[in-house]
Each structure stands twice: as C-alpha cells, then as structure tokens.
Amino acid sequence: MQPSPAPPPYVVLLEKLFTAWESMSIAAVAKLGVADCLQSGPKTTAQIAAALNLDEDSLYRVMRAIAGSGIFHEGDDRTFSQTPMSALLTSDANPSLRYCSSMVLDDWYHKGFQAICKTMENGRTGMENVFGMPLFEFLQKNPGEAENFNKGMTDLSSGEAPAVIASYDFSGFEHIVDIAGGMGLLLAAILDSAPKLRGTLFDMPYVIEQARTAPILAPYADRCAFAGGDFLQEVPAGADAYIMKHIIHDWDAERSTRILSNCRRVMKPGGKLLVVDRVIGPPNQHDDKKFFDIAMMMWPGGRERSEAEFRTLFQSAGFRVDRIISTPGPHSIVEGTPF
C-alpha cells in the first residue's frame, strides 16, 4: 500500500489559517465549565445543556468539533465522556488549564492580538494601539480581567512548576525570592522540594493581597514571607537565590536589564539568578516559542530570547550565564551568577 501523498501547500496553509477557531472553541467549553459537568461520568449534550443552561444544538456542534482533537470523546446519541485532555479543563485538575484556556476569550487577549498589522507599522504593542495603555496597566484598571489573568498564570504554573522542580536542586539555598510570583504556586513547589529553604513571594501589592488569602502558600507559613512592590524600582534584599518564571519575557532589553540589575545589587555574594523562560531555537525550524515571541510583542511589549540574547542580557546586568537547563516543559532554566 502506497503512502498518501503529502497535502499541497494550499491545503496546509488553509488549515493553519483556521486554527484560531479550534482555540476559541476550547476556550468556550472551558469558560462554561463543560468539563466539570462530565466529572461524574458521560452525559448527553441535552443533559449538559440543562445543567449549565446552554443551547443544546450549539453545545453539541462545538463538542463534536473538538472531540476530533481528543478533547472529549463522542459516543452514541450525542453522549460525551472525558478524555485525558478534556480532564485538564476541569477546575480541580492538577495540572489544570481551565482558566488559562478561558482567558483566550477575554477582551484584551483577542483585541490586543488583532492589532498585529498596526504593531508591524508603528512598533507599539497591540494593547497600546487598541486600549491606549500597556497590558499591566490595563489589568490594574480592570480587576475582573486581572483576576482571570492571575488564575490563568496559576494554571500555567500548575504544569510548569513540577518541570522546574524535576530539573533543578533548590536544597542548597537558604532563602529564595520569587520575583513576580503571582499566587505563589511555583514558590510552594520549591519550598515543598527543599524543607529547610525560606522563601519570599514578591509581586505588585494588589497581587500580594490576593496571594495572602489564597491557600497555596498556607502550608509553608512558617517559612514564607510576602512582599509587595515594583521590581523596576527594587526587590527584597538579602536572599541567595532569585527566581522569575515567565517574567523577563514580558519586558524589553532596557527594563529587563533594570530588573536583573536590581536583583544583582541586593543578592548575597555568590548568589544565583534563575530565569525560567522559553529559549528560541535556530532559524527555519518550526518552533512554538517563536509564536510566543509574537504574543509578547503584542501584549506586554517583551520578547522571547535566543541563547545568545540571554547571554547578552545577563552580561548587561552584571551576570554570567553558567548554564541553560532544559526541562520537561517548553521552558528552560537560565542560571547565572554575578561577576
């Protein structure tokens, strides 16, 4: 039997153009809690629609489509059951992607990206072109979307924190500061992996207020402190390790250097800087990290970086890159020490 011929470029490109439809369909079922409804077992779309007050036919058409990608399994008579991927869309999954997925439908997310042509014309972020302000200023002024954003980032940490812990030994440190650590999920995983380690969660004051009342860091209350502030001005002093996950990629070279320099100025001698971010691969190679770079361009105004760009950035802030450690996730740990 001869193998099927490769599809022509016209067909391949056409399929790529419409991938956003799938993304938004997944986001919709996540936001509406459809996966949660199936936790007790298979149900018909009529049963799901009745439970969630949805239109049955519309629900069926969306679920039928994404079942073809392994998100839910369609049986007889419009009955659907959970799959390993749809289980990730439940609220209590660990890791979970429910809130990260539903964030795709938030106003800033899609409108900010829709301005890509304008960004390519004037170099300003999509957020500035559409909303007249940077992403983080927008989130400060829109608490509802900020809460969704923080939940989405916590979702990402639920999958990424185990990958970081599996790839790096934190037991040699005395005190670690998680810079812009959100609700503290990564810090909780680090403290759990190193019982003698003390940690400080540092973020904007309004984020820290949310984190104080969240249960994530409660088991480590005797070893964990909270600090609010602006990392472009200063960071907590005196730790021997400073970690930031998916933070430096939010910022341009000038402000990234300022953040890293603030860490350099206050860390203990011989301390370690740990930047958890995607590292872009070589040219002409399919690499999702390059599309994340476009997202950083459109929303916060930052960028994903290559190894060479990380080395240049670290040097500008007074660090040398000791090693770049791959993890089981899509990111790497860029480790540096001051010179």
Distance CA 218, CA 198 (A): 14
**Cβ(232)–Cβ(255) below 8 Å:** yes
Q: Is 331 a catalytic site residue?
A: no
With CA atoms as reference, report the closest residue to 64 among 54, 76, 50.
76
Six-digit token pair at 71? 């998100």
Note the residue count of the chain.
339
Active-site residue, from 175, 246, 249, 331: 249
> CA distances (Å), 38 to each of 1, 47, 91, 117, in order?
41, 10, 12, 41
What's at 45, amino acid-wise? T
DSSP-assigned beta bridge partners for residue 203:
228
> CA distances (Å), 63 to each of 20, 79, 82, in order?
16, 10, 11
Tokens 């996540």 belong to 30
Six-digit token pair at 227? 């600090």
**Cβ(207)–Cβ(154) below 8 Å:** no
> CA distances (Å), 189 to each of 121, 181, 227, 234, in order?
42, 12, 18, 25
Which residues are annotated as catalytic?
A: 249
